Amino acid sequence: MTEVLAPTGARDPGGRPEPPRRNLRGAAAALGRFLRAQPLGAVALVLITVFVLAALLAPWLAPYDPLEQFRRHILEEPSGQFLLGTDDLGRDVLSRTIHGARTSLLIGVATTGVSLVLGTAIGVVSGYFGRAVDVVIQRVMDAVQAVPGIVLLLFIAVILGPSVRNTVIALTVVITPSFNRIARGETLRIREERYVEAARATGASTPRILALHVLPNLFASVFTLGSLIFAGVIIAESALSFLGIGAPPPTPSWGAMLSEGVRYVERAPWIILVPAALLSMAVFSFNLLGDALRDHLDPRLQRPAVDGAARRWWARRRPPAGLAPSLARAAEEKKDTGPTDT
């Protein structure tokens, strides 16, 4: 007898087909589609990459130690020795600006990541189980959001004291309800979909339904919100540092540099011009990336395809079924059925 061998990796030892695995090539292809479909998003991604690389390579890119003081060069104008001048303590502004990017981005990544995980988990539990669980959780979230964000942020920061860790905690408390609202609203919609009802009918457990059907459909909305909130986190961290209750001195931070240089703005404007410009550019880049991700990941915002030679890069968008299966399926059904006459 001739034994027919299945392709390697096609089946597991139990004889069941293995699910498709995403690899680096698929991720690179998805990134390439995003860059071609969203040119402004590509520009924003390049700028963000520059900021991240500058933050990671700060010890090697900075010409001096950010805390080193040159007492003979206090408030010195930009020169060959100090490309962006020095501040009121004789510290190199360029070195402090590069290291300040590390502090601001570290707080932004930590705050956004923790808030995204907590808010999404709370929202999914609240939206899927509903009833008493939903009421209790949402009343707590409403109480947090009832207090103006800046007031709550200042209160928590003052109580905990100035430090990078306490700044992350304060920002996380303020931002988590935003992710909770998005995750809960999407979960309320997804749990009524037919494929979720079919999964329940076949005896799928709740953790399996949440992992395979709910969370994949939340990815696009939550990730887009995270990219937009990241910019707000950087602004909030700069505001706290500007008020003296963020990252403690002498830790270099863009907000702290603005706070220290505002007293010498007429005599030495270079102290605040550079960090202010970089802060604005970073916020603009993350906002631009968030808009691009929203347009690219949401099938309801896809532009209609153009037939023939008129097809161009802006008309070659396809619904990302792997990211939002239910939305992609609805978009395909709407395209197949076409408009109906009333």
Is 20 a domain residue?
no
Token duo for residue 101: 């990017």
Read off the pLDDT of residues 46-103 as tens digits, 9 standing for 90 and up: 998 998 898 889 889 889 988 888 888 888 888 888 888 888 888 999 999 899 888 8
Considering the domain boundaries, does residue 6 fall inside one?
no
Calculate the alpha carbon distances from 231 to 112, 222, 286, 340 in Å: 10, 15, 6, 42
What is the reported pLDDT for 152?
Answer: 84
CATH code at position 93: 1.10.3720.10
Domain extent for 137 = 38-300+319-337
pLDDT of amino acid 217: 82
Let me know if residue 15 belongs to a domain: no
252, part of any domain: yes
Domain assignment of residue 122, yes or no = yes
Is residue 176 in a domain?
A: yes
Below-50 pLDDT ranges, the chain = 1-22, 304-324, 341-342
- As a 3-state breakdown, the chain gives helix, strand, coil percent values, each rounded to 5, of 70, 0, 30
Assigned domain for 14 exists: no
Q: Is residue 59 part of a domain?
A: yes
Number of domains observed in the structure of the chain: 1
